[in-house]
Structure 1
Amino acid sequence: MKLLKVDSVEETKRKIDHYFEGIYLEEEYIDIAEALDRIAAEDLYAQLEVPEFSRATVDGYAITAKDSYGASESLPTFLQIIGKVEMGETAAHKVTPGKAIYVPTGGMLPQGADAMVMIEYVESLDDETIAVYKAVAPGEGVIQKGEDIQKGEQILSKGRRLKPQDIGMLAAVGIYQIKVFRKPRVFVISTGDELVHPKEEIKPGQIRDINTYTLSAMALNGGAVLAGQVIVKDDFLRLQDIVKNAIAKSDVVVISGGSSVGAKDVTAQVIDSLGEPGVFIHGVAVKPGKPTIIGRVDRTAVFGLPGHPVSAMVIYKVFVDYILQKLQQFNEVQEIVIQGICDANIHASPGKETYQMVQLEKRDDKYIVKPIYGKSGAISLMAEAHGYIKIHGNQEGIHKGEKVEVILL
């Protein structure tokens, strides 16, 4: 077992970057219908223009803008109707001075036209004549060919999490398959002689397993798939066998409990026994979650999280999410942050990055941030929280009335 050495959060992330340099998930092609929330594995460029033809953005008449100059309610311009454009069809006629063609919204703009006058500003005098009561400028009511997306324009960056609008854009440029990173596989293990399944009756001294379900839900919420989940008693050989099996079938193994330095805390020894480079972090200057373990066996990340639910969830968000994003080359800001005014003084532990759970209350046009206090073993602390404040190790704390940033859970 390596000696316990407490690293800062930033030092820990730098070590993760070092030990997992060049380790990424495999790539696969999928249909865009299945691509929501997947991570793009390549830069994509448009191979055509959007729109592929100039078209109307309003319902009305295609004209030459000059024909409408000076038109008003009291002095309309009179134009001859020479046809109409059907949706999904090419315009059959050309617009010339003094002429107009009816075009529905989205229809192809006829050749010779450079503007659309909305039907609300047109009066039909007979089957062949309209009166135009409003002047329009060139380009008004029209989206030109290639105005939305130019051919050769980059439309997606590698490492982007695909949103509904991204998928719509891919469809617009004729891309129906996209290369993405395979979903990361996470295996969740909870350790402890005292743990029992939630459906079981508990005896004095036993507790229902919380972390297996909480951490598994966090993995699924982050876009991972579960490679497995299991409860293991405090037994070195049994835990070693389970972790070895988990490493073989997953990208990240998360073990809650057994990360401290007590007689039954064997997580670090188990990780070191299974291969190189083994444990490279044992102890992080963070509250809650100081006795955190991070290691690597072959290409698999192995985390030893504190057994207390709040500590386990905080460390998962700070470090497990970090490695999951790194494996997929995710390059966007993931955190959603709200600014508010702190409602009370908050003490921080010197030299440790402190994560304080808070609730948000909307008053008038601003958010009031209320700290929630409780011990790290209380799952209700997380259930009641809307988010948390991150207090850096060089800060003594936060004063009542101070502006803070709340990272939403």
Structure 2
Amino acid sequence: MFFNVVSRKDFLLHCSTFPHTPKESVPLEEATGRPLASDVVSQEHLPLTSRSCMDGYALQAKDIFGAGESNPAYLELQAEIEIDAFPEFTLKPGHCARIPTGGCLPANANAVIMIEHTHDMGGTIEIRKSVAPYENVMHRGEDAEPGQTVLTAGTRLRVQDAGLLAALGIGEVTVHQRPKLAVLSTGNEVVPVQNVPRPGQVRDVNSFSIRALARQAGAEAHFLGIVPDKADALRQAMKHALAEHDAVFLSGGSSVGTRDLTVEVLEDLPDTEILVHGVAMSPGKPTILARQGHKAILGLPGQTASAHVVMLMLGLPLLRSLEADADAATPERFPVRAELTRNIASRQGREDFIRVRLEPRPDDLPLAHPVPGRSGLMRTLLQSHGLAAIPASSEGLYQGQHVNVLTY
């Protein structure tokens, strides 16, 4: 029987109890996609000065108040500002200065009129549109000010975040080391991919999918081989894996049965605690989470589709938690909204993840077609685009109901 069965939310909270990997400093160009290990504080204003958003003329907005096509305003051209120079003059009333996009505003200027609304009359500029104060202006310090925390620890660095740091002159950041993951496949029936399986045998698919998904999450994933259903062999493989890695993921051996050795071996390992054996979700109920010292052990189902879903919903959040991702313990977001094409029954008390195929529709939500099939078949993954969740509190979903889909 299963014991310590928990909800997916509680499983993710267990993940947050594992210590984070050590910190390290890396060049900014290597940091994208990794969570920050400390806050980043700006040391300067960004922009350094108020700058123009448009090619046009810097001016005082009050000087062209009420200007229009039938009632243009006229200002005298005082200067032309270069893109790479700070203007050392003060703008006079009734005057303007030609300015390029990104150019620094001179003192007393508080707006920019787009060049399309002007006409150069040879020293006098005709302006056929009024502007509000600070229109078409990027303010000094609008992106960042000295002493401002611009990114907090735990933020997974996006491309735009790296761009902000580059603009602030920050070429190196502190992150947590990538989790080192050992992957084991278990079972007498599992053979290497290059082998021709006999009836009753299967090629080792899970180790490839687990490693590929783990690397997408930023982990360093290493395959340590296929372990037969022998307690001594599994015990030795686990000891070796734990000695060199932050976490061990093994597929197979997590279901309750006469050939289940995983729990037995884990109970024999020193300083090991089984935190979870059973998650209220389908597929993936026979998932194991254990702690050996400060290291994490995840036992995934052996069925291919089940292992894939467990990696998406439980394994990847665990790896992100080890790397101190601030959102690691937050249940996965389901970013695509779609309309279900038929009724789907479920059982209250567990969260069901249905593989769905998305069919785009013009000017409407895409359709979500359920892809039924056994958890041992790869077809449900190959023919689907993502997962739709049925909450544990529900007995199912109805045709036409809107669902959230996690795409893969």
Task: Give the TM-score normalised by the residue count of structure 1.
Answer: 0.91
Name the SS for the 1:314 alignment partner.
helix
Matched, 1:357 2:355: yes
Alignment of 1:8-407 (within 5 A): 8-10=6-8, 12-13=10-11, 16-17=14-15, 21=17, 23-126=19-122, 128-332=123-327, 334-364=332-362, 365-407=364-406
How many residues in Structure 1 have an aligned counterpart in Structure 2? Answer: 404
- Runs of 5+ unmatched residues, structure 1: none
Q: Retained in 2: the 8 A contact 1:6–1:285?
A: no
For 1:251, give the aligned amino acid.
D
Structure 1 residue 91, shift from structure 2 partner: 0.8
Query: Taking CA–CA contacts closer than 8 Å with sequence separation of 6 or more, which of the two structures ends up with the larger relative contact order?
Result: 2
Structure 1 residue 144, shift from structure 2 partner: 2.1
Structure 1 residue 220, shift from structure 2 partner: 0.8
Tell me the distance in 2 between the aligned counterparts of 1:351 and 1:64: 66
Name the SS for the 2:38 alignment partner.
coil
- Runs of 5+ unmatched residues, structure 2: none
Tell me the distance in 2 between the aligned counterparts of 1:12 and 1:309: 24
Could you give the per-residue CA deviations for residues 37-91 of structure 1, whole angstroms, max 9, x where no partner exists? 1001122232222111111111122222232234333443333323211121111
Name the SS for the 1:326 alignment partner.
helix
Q: Retained in 2: the 8 A contact 1:259–1:267?
A: yes
Tell me the distance in 2 between the aligned counterparts of 1:236 and 1:130: 88
Greater shift in the superposed pair: 7-16 or 319-328: 7-16
Structure 1 residue 99, shift from structure 2 partner: 2.3
Structure 1 residue 166, shift from structure 2 partner: 0.6
Task: Give the TM-score normalised by the residue count of structure 2.
Answer: 0.92
| Percent identity of paired positions between Structure 1 and Structure 2 | 35
Q: Retained in 2: the 8 A contact 1:12–1:281?
A: no
CA RMSD of aligned residues (A): 2.2
Q: Structure 1 residues 147 and 16 mapped into 2: Cα distance closer, same or farther (>3 Å)?
A: closer
Name the SS for the 1:131 alignment partner.
strand
Q: Retained in 1: the 8 A contact 2:81–2:97?
A: yes
Q: Structure 1 residues 59 and 292 mapped into 2: Cα distance closer, same or farther (>3 Å)?
A: same
Could you give the per-residue CA deviations for residues 91-148 of structure 1, whole angstroms, max 9, x where no partner exists? 133210232221111011112222222222222222x332223222321222221233
